[in-house]
Amino acid sequence: MEQAKIRNVAIIAHVDHGKTTLVDQLFKHSGMFRDNQQVSERLMDSMDLERERGITITAKNGSYQYKDFWINIIDTPGHADFGGQVERVLRMADGALLLVDAQEGPMPQTYFVLKKALQNHLPVIVVINKIDKPAARCDWVVDQVFDLFVKLNAPDNILDFAVVYASAKGGYSMLSLEDDIETHRNMDSVSEMIVAHIPAPKGASDQPLQMQVGTIEYSPYLGRLGIGKVVNGTMSINQPIVVARRDGSIKPVRISKIFRFQSSEKVAVDTVGVGEIVAIAGMEDVTVGVTFTDPLDPRPLPLITIDPPTISMNFIPNDSPFAGREGKFVTSRHIEERLQREALADVALRYESLSDAVGFKVSGRGELHLSILIEKMRREGYEFQVTRPQVIMKEDENGQLLEPYERLSVDVDELYQGAVIEKLGKLKGQMEEMTTANGMVRLVFVIPTRGLLGYRSQFMTDTKGMGIMNYVFHEYGPYAGDIVNRVNGVLVVKEPCTAVAYALFNLQERGRLFINPGVALYQGQIIGEHCRSVDLVVNPAKGKKLTNMRASGSDEAVILTPPVLMSLEDCIAYINDDELVEVTPESIRLRKKGGVKLKA
């Protein structure tokens, strides 16, 4: 493939600003699919979790042909919890498409992903997406994006960015808002800008081979595939090469298969050259960051630096009375093997054995980062328990305790701003910005990460489900003091039983319930939230006393309020330090830690 005709582009944006939908349209309008071919929506989101949640979790590679150019697309996650993916795949790109919502404008993750692109000195094309929204304000958004570039100290050549206006959902793009939509019912404007403003990849084919692995994929037939860009030299099947590992050691390997990307599929090829993004098989223990290079003149590329984890949780084997009933993989050895596999593919994840108990301390970027891992494991048949998330503290050179802070952006109706400001103030949040437009308020806070643990459900309650909150890691700052996240106690089961409707009916006035009747329970399991600040031991199997006297109309109907059914993220955010979330393929339960003395 001719080097000058290759374009490698990363698509970066805040979560839900339309990256994956835009990629769908670029592929469809490239003519790579037959007219009668069924193409699924969000083609690049291949994981079940990605399709269910509507977010991109792992970076994906694809490509399409435009005229005589070959455009490689890297679809990146928008959520900062998966920033480790963004940081390393930008090494493959020679430019970036920055998508910004035509109504919302730049958001916290826009700031995060753009900062990473500028650190890699990538030229940026700004795509104002969703211009068909009724409340779209394109000129304002362009001004906000320019201000963001200035804030991030972008050099003059990148400040003069090109702008494309598009509706990925509607399938059209144009260079000016004055253009006629009907004559632009395609993605040619985006492709034209990529060809014109993104440079061809640099490098020389006569230099020693250099290819750094940016992402890992797994094939059931070929094992682990390393994906990266050929920076220098050429690569062929069965070519003897060496791998420069992260620890500095060199290992000889032989390439067994090379794949080029065509739309979202992989096509086997014999030889690839400079600038091509490829997947290669042949090394079983390939990890992110290693460099495939020439055995006679090895030249490792600089290691990928990753922002440190800010949140940790303990993953421990399940020791509840129901342990082993629902899971396939239940031992600490099973858990360790799975964490080891995940850490090879996700360089932002760390794990280590606990010194004082059986289990592992797992550290990541945020609650979402770790909860996605937990959800993947339970779907694969793993059964285990997790503790409350803890922020990772540091000490500076003077011995002062430092903790991570987040930059939080909140969009709420004016009616609810008072409640939000009050709650965030109690959680040690410091408001930095406040803007009002069309009855909506945008508030920007800097707040300790600890303050946001478990806050989302409270936020949704305060804003009647209409608020939007997003946050991104800001910096490590001085310890902010004690923060109280949950003030209510819980309802704890007294003894093993099956929940009875009559008993739950009588417990309703004591607090909110988390279960339905007929559920099997064990001692120490949490079935609801107490209306007071102390824990309450209850008997959810206590039935109605029977007598031999019965009068017409004396039995009242039992009317139960629907229970609060919490998701995995809700449960993780809810628990206190003396509580656990029990995770199995079929159930998610809350419980008190073992050894708690329960008093009736």
What's the pLDDT tens digit per position in 542-568? Answer: 877 665 555 444 455 678 889 988 888
Q: Binding site for GTP, residues?
A: 16-21, 129-132
Q: Which residue has the tokens 């404008």?
A: 105
Q: Which two three-digit tokens encode residue 354?
A: 């606990």
In three-state secondary structure terms, 4 is: helix
Q: What is the mean pLDDT of the chain?
A: 84
Average pLDDT over every residue of 424-447: 89
Q: What is the dihedral of CA 79, 85, 86, 88, to 10 degrees?
A: 170
DSSP 450: H
Model confidence at 265, pLDDT cuts 50, 70, 90, reads confident
Model confidence at 306, pLDDT cuts 50, 70, 90, reads low
Alpha-carbon distances of 149 from 69, 155, 317, 396, rounded to whole Å = 29, 9, 47, 31
Q: Which two three-digit tokens encode residue 175?
A: 């260079």
Structural domains of the chain, with CATH: 3-197 (3.40.50.300), 210-293 (2.40.30.10), 311-391 (3.30.70.870), 394-478 (3.30.70.240), 490-547+554-576+587-592 (2.40.50.250)
Average pLDDT over every residue of 289-299: 88
Instruction: Report d(CA 444, CA 202) in Å as an integer.
Output: 40
Which residue from 432, 465, 464 is spatially nearest to 447, judged by alpha carbons?
432
Give residue 401's pLDDT. Answer: 92
Average pLDDT over every residue of 459-465: 83
81 HSE (CA, 13 A, CB side): 19
Q: Which two three-digit tokens encode residue 524?
A: 């120490």
Model confidence at 140, pLDDT cuts 50, 70, 90, reads very high
Average pLDDT over every residue of 110-127: 86
Helix (H) / strand (E) element for 99: namely strand 95-101
Give residue 507's pLDDT. Answer: 92
Give residue 595's pLDDT. Answer: 46
Which percentage of the chain shows pLDDT scores above 90? 29
Give residue 54's pLDDT. Answer: 52
In three-state secondary structure terms, 19 is: helix
Instruction: Report d(CA 450, CA 401) in Å as an integer.
Output: 14
| Other beta carbons within 10 Å of 83 | 25
Contact between residue 591 and residue 580 where contact means Cβ atoms under 8 Å apart: yes
Instruction: Report d(CA 314, CA 334) in Å as an integer.
Output: 15
With a cut of 80, say whether residue 34 has pLDDT above it: no
Alpha helix ranges (H) inside 60-178: 83-89, 108-119, 138-151, 156-159
Give residue 55's pLDDT. Answer: 53
Q: Which two three-digit tokens encode residue 499?
A: 């929940």
70-88: per-residue pLDDT in tens? 998 887 765 555 555 677 7
Which percentage of the chain shows pLDDT scores above 70? 89
In three-state secondary structure terms, 158 is: helix
What global pTM score does this model have? 0.75
Alpha helix ranges (H) inside 90-219: 108-119, 138-151, 156-159, 188-197
Pairing, β 277-281 against β 235-236: unpaired
With a cut of 70, say whether residue 399 has pLDDT above it: yes
312-361: per-residue pLDDT in tens? 999 999 999 999 899 899 999 999 999 988 887 777 789 999 998 899 99
DSSP 541: T
Contact between residue 332 and residue 383 where contact means Cβ atoms under 8 Å apart: no
371-391: per-residue pLDDT in tens? 889 998 999 999 999 999 999
Q: Which residue has the tokens 């809810």?
A: 574
With a cut of 50, say whether residue 43 has pLDDT above it: no
Q: Which two three-digit tokens encode residue 245?
A: 């590992």
338-352: per-residue pLDDT in tens? 998 888 777 778 999
Instruction: Report d(CA 591, CA 581) in Å as an integer.
Output: 7
Q: Binding site, residues?
A: 16-21, 129-132
Let me know the angle formed at the C-alpha of 164 by 160 and 169, rounded to the nearest 5 degrees. 150
Give residue 487's pLDDT. Answer: 79
Give residue 50's pLDDT. Answer: 46
Give residue 46's pLDDT. Answer: 44
